Amino acid sequence: MQKAIIGKKIGMTQIFDEAGKFVPVTVIEAGPCVVVQKKTAENDGYEAVQLGFGEIRSKNVTKPLQGHFKKADVAMKRTLKEFRLEDTAALNVGDIVKADAFAEGDIVDVCGTSKGKGYAGSIKRHNHQRLKETHGSGPVHRHAGSMGACSSPSRIYKGKGMPGHMGAEKVTVQNLTVVKVDAENNLIAVKGAIPGPKGSVVTIADCVKKA
């Protein structure tokens, strides 16, 4: 059965394997999550489950969402995420999904939001080369320079590397190995780094194998 869960990034550390080698890991507080909604092919055209994670006071929840939680007869949650799973027969509204749904050795995809870097120039944002600082480059050695549009096509092509907002975007890291699962404390340690600052919300799902 395909598995998925919502969690919160705790931080990075290192643990030692059986051979005595240290392994850099990211620790995630995974769940507990509650199934808030279940979508079926008959009613919605596809199979999916909606999970809720994190406590929140009712006064901070909009009335439409309050009705959504009341219909499911579950406690209100701060974060809602929908997962399209291949088989949702084993999950029903109100079920609790915990970290023990995963096991050591599982290969997973972790999705999060990268750190926001604010407005950045093209050198920092796209790794462009700076201009020489001699022979008339003036005070513009970190500028983007000419775009070379001329009279034809008289415009900048879409996707051109330009200064702008950097970071704070959805990033998915694939094929990470679950190194350790602490079911008692709802913690999952995955090998390597994942996107997002400490305390940010992430999702963990079985690795999608491409043909």
Mean pLDDT over 30-55 rounds to 88
Residue 211's pLDDT band, with cuts at 50, 70 and 90, is: very low
- Contact (Cβ atoms closer than 8 angstroms) between residue 79 and residue 90: no
| Rounded distance between C-alpha atoms, residue 82 and residue 53, angstroms | 11
According to the model, what pLDDT value does residue 208 have? 58
According to the model, what pLDDT value does residue 26 have? 92
Supply 79's token pair.
């974060």
Question: Across 31-130, where does the E strand assignment appear?
Answer: 33-39, 48-55, 77-83, 96-97, 107-113, 116-120
According to the model, what pLDDT value does residue 152 have? 80
For residue 112, what are the contacts with CB-CB under 8 A and spacing of at least 6?
9, 170, 171, 194, 195, 196, 200, 201, 202, 203
Could you tell me where in the chain the CATH 2.40.30.10 domains are found? 4-116+170-206
Question: Which of 184, 183, 188 lies closest to 202 in space, CA to CA?
Answer: 188
Is the confidence at residue 30, as pLDDT, over 60?
Answer: yes
Mean pLDDT over 161-172 rounds to 91
Is the confidence at residue 210, as pLDDT, over 60?
Answer: no
Residue 147: C-alpha distances to residues 20, 150, 180 (Å): 54, 8, 50
| Rounded distance between C-alpha atoms, residue 38 and residue 159, angstroms | 38
CATH class of 4-116+170-206: mainly beta
Is the confidence at residue 36, as pLDDT, over 80?
Answer: yes
- Contact (Cβ atoms closer than 8 angstroms) between residue 97 and residue 51: yes
Q: Give the predicted TM-score (pTM) of the model.
A: 0.80
According to the model, what pLDDT value does residue 1 have? 58
Is the confidence at residue 161, as pLDDT, over 60?
Answer: yes
| Rounded distance between C-alpha atoms, residue 151 and residue 31, angstroms | 57
SS3 186: coil
According to the model, what pLDDT value does residue 25 have? 92
Q: In the sheet where 77-83 sits, what is the strand order?
A: 77-83, 48-55, 33-39, 96-97
Mean pLDDT over 141-166 rounds to 83
| Rounded distance between C-alpha atoms, residue 91 and residue 102, angstroms | 15
Mean pLDDT over 99-113 rounds to 89
According to the model, what pLDDT value does residue 126 have? 92
Q: What is the DSSP letter of 184?
A: T
